[in-house]
């Protein structure tokens, strides 16, 4: 029996709906997303109350989300509200109005809970062990220290891109950006455990971090295949900050990938990120598209466990990916084992490292997924699914390499791995050789593989008849299939 879970995140700047489907085989995938700009922190009166206009906007948004979720067959709702509602003096009035008018009762997260769910979203989708996570939201900024994949510290600073923009609105953007950077540097330095994170990787989640990735791509005139896992160097963060604070809002709105709403508060958001980099002495940031909503989902998905964190991001994701796209796991394991056996047996001639072996392993596990779309040109579909869907564990550069490997493209190293997968499939699927029985031996200028009756005739008649030529081009050795009739 399938279950559809609707998660609503009523944030300070925007509200989002994410619907996940959980299948009977325990696999899952997001099936629908929707965003509305509610700007609750902007609709906060001087006395700290959300204005009637702000409440009306939140109600309208909640109704739209509930309607969309009903159409999509949501069977379980998990609605949460964050900093703006948390900080509002009329919080109960807002919550009562939402329940009365939209039939949804929101749970208000504390700052620590917000950081906790962000942690769950990241640690289940990014292969990190130790890191500092940050989320520059609309009305608060959460910092979370992770050691050995466990949350050790979390703090919520009550300043985010939206309320910082309002606080420094009287200044020109160029001056406001520098003032916000200095102000947030002081806020971060006041966190008593902050320097326990010195030297650790930085992972950014939330709207500001995603905008940072999009700005970096815009600057480089590149197109992202996905934002999750995208790396941004310190110099790029600083350059984006310097550039954005000098651009008028009218020009910022024209930047591709940056919404009009985000363009108004991006200077404050970037100023906060630069302040954090200054505080930590950090060099690079990994952007995570997964955050609070994903953390809420994983808590629900893993509710039967003592600790809702997967043991291995890669292995959990590979298993889920294979189930979602109907990859035959038995076949995938046979091909993978054969490919790794060839890799290890030919180590003296291919000169590839352990990182290449890991790429080979991941690719062999998923390489047939494109058949889920169409068996014609399935390798193209496989490459697209690898980078365009929710495959977690590999880094962003590794995903690009996997896509090239699936397409038989890329540098010589990737093309060698592609040949090994082709050879593994030939030996196991076409010749029926069990991976443990695959012989692989370098003999002078020859590589002897196989050992099966009539192996040469079978290969000659197969679609991989040209594999020997490709192998020799890539490795510089002649590929010789051993026939048992030669050695009886």
374-390 residue pLDDT tens: 999 999 999 999 998 88
- The confidence score (pLDDT) of residue 488 equals 44
Residues 6+ apart with CB under 8 A from 375: none
Ranges of H-type helices in 81-205: 83-87, 91-102, 111-123, 161-167, 173-189
Return all residues near 426 (Cβ < 8 A) that are at least 6 apart.
Answer: 459, 462, 464, 467
Dist. CA 476–CA 469, nearest whole Å: 10
Q: For the chain, give every residue range classified as CATH 3.30.420.150.
A: 112-293
Query: What does pTM read for this prediction?
Result: 0.92
DSSP states along 422-458: HHHHIIIIIS---GGG-EEEEETTEEEEEEETTHHHH
- Residue spans of the chain under pLDDT 50: 461, 485, 487-488
CATH of 112-293, one of 3.40.140.80, 3.30.420.150, 3.90.950.10, 3.40.50.2300: 3.30.420.150
Locate 33 and state its tokens. 């997303």
Superfamily classification of domain 3-108: ATPase, nucleotide binding domain (3.30.420.40)
Burial (0-12, 13-18, 19+ Cβ within 10 Å), 333: middle
CB 369 within 8 A of CB 383: no
DSSP H or E segment with residue 61: helix 52-71
Rounded Cα distance between 158 and 179, Å, is: 17
Domain boundaries for CATH 1.10.3210.10 within the chain = 314-487
Q: Who's near 304: CB < 8 A, 6+ residues apart? A: none
Contact 281, 95 (CB under 8 A): no
User: How distant is the alpha carbon of residue 365 from its chain centre?
Assistant: 19
| Residues contacting 105, CB < 8 A, separation 6+ | 79, 95, 98, 99
pLDDT for the residue 398: 95
Q: Give, in order, the Cα–Cα distances in Å from 394 to each of 348, 388, 479.
A: 26, 13, 32
Where do runs of H (alpha helix) occur along 253-328?
A: 260-280, 292-301, 313-324
Question: What end-to-end distance do the CA atoms of the chain give, in Å?
Answer: 55
CB contact set of 435 (below 8 Å; sequence gap of 6+): 334, 337, 338, 341, 424, 428
Would you state the pLDDT for residue 226? 86
How far, CA to CA in Å, does 256 sit from each of 204, 215, 217?
A: 21, 8, 10
What span, in angstroms and rounded, lies between the C-alpha atoms of 389 and 453?
Answer: 42
For residue 487, the model assigns a pLDDT of 47
Residues 419 and 474 sit within 8 Å (Cβ to Cβ): yes
Q: Helix or strand or coil: residue 286? A: strand
What is the phi/psi pair of residue 335, to 5°?
A: -65, -40
DSSP-assigned letter for residue 50: B
Q: Which residue intervals of the chain bear CATH 3.30.420.40?
A: 3-108
> Hey, what CATH topology would domain 314-487 get?
Hypothetical protein af1432 (1.10.3210)
Residue with tokens 């909640």: 62
Confidence at residue 464, expressed as pLDDT on a 0 to 100 scale: 56
């Amino acid at each position: 029996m399938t279950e559809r879970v609707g998660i609503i995140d009523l944030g300070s700047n925007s509200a989002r709906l994410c619907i996940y489907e959980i299948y009977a085989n325990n696999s899952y995938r997001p099936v629908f997303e929707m965003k509305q700009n509610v700007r609750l922190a902007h609709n906060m009166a001087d006395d700290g109350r959300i204005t009637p206009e702000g409440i009306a906007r939140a109600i309208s948004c909640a109704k739209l989300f509930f309607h969309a979720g009903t159409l999509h067959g949501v069977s379980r709702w998990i609605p949460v509200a964050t900093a703006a509602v948390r900080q509002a003096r009329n919080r109960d009035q807002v919550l009562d109005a939402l329940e009365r008018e939209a039939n949804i009762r929101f749970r208000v997260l504390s700052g620590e809970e917000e950081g906790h769910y962000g942690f769950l979203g990241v640690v289940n989708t990014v292969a990190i062990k130790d890191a500092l996570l940050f989320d520059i939201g609309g009305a608060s900024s959460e910092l979370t220290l992770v050691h050995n994949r466990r949350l050790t510290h979390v703090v919520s600073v009550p300043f985010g891109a939206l309320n910082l923009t309002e606080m420094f609105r009287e200044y020109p953007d160029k001056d406001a950006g520098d003032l916000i950077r200095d102000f947030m540097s002081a806020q971060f330095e006041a966190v008593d455990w902050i320097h326990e994170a010195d030297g650790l990787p930085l992972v950014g989640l939330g709207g500001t971090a995603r905008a940072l990735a999009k700005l970096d791509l815009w600057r480089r005139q590149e197109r992202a295949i996905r934002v999750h896992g995208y790396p941004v160097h310190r110099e790029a963060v600083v350059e984006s900050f310097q550039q954005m604070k000098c651009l008028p809002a009218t020009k910022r709105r024209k930047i591709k990938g940056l919404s009009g709403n985000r363009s108004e508060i991006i200077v404050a958001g970037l100023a906060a990120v630069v302040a954090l980099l200054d505080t930590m002495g950090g060099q690079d940031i990994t952007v995570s598209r997964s955050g609070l909503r994903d953390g809420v989902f994983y808590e629900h998905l893993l509710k039967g466990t003592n600790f809702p964190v997967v043991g291995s991001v890669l292995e959990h994701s590979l298993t889920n990916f294979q189930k979602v796209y109907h990859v035959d796991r038995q076949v995938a394991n046979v091909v993978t084992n054969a490919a790794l056996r060839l890799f290890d047996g030919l180590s003296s001639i291919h000169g590839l490292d352990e990182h290449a072996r890991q790429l080979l392993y991941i690719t062999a596990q998923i390489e047939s997924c494109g058949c889920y779309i169409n068996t014609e040109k399935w390798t193209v579909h496989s490459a697209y699914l690898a980078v365009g869907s929710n495959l977690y564990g590999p880094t962003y550069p590794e995903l690009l390499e996997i896509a090239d490997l699936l397409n038989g493209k890329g540098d010589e190293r990737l093309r060698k791995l592609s040949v090994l997968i082709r050879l593994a499939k030939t030996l196991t699927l076409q010749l029926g050789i069990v991976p443990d029985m695959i012989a692989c031996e370098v003999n002078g200028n020859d590589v002897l593989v196989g050992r099966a009756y009539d192996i040469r005739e079978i290969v000659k008649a197969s679609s991989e008849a040209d594999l020997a030529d490709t192998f020799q081009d890539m490795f510089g050795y002649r590929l010789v299939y051993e026939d048992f009739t030669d050695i009886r």
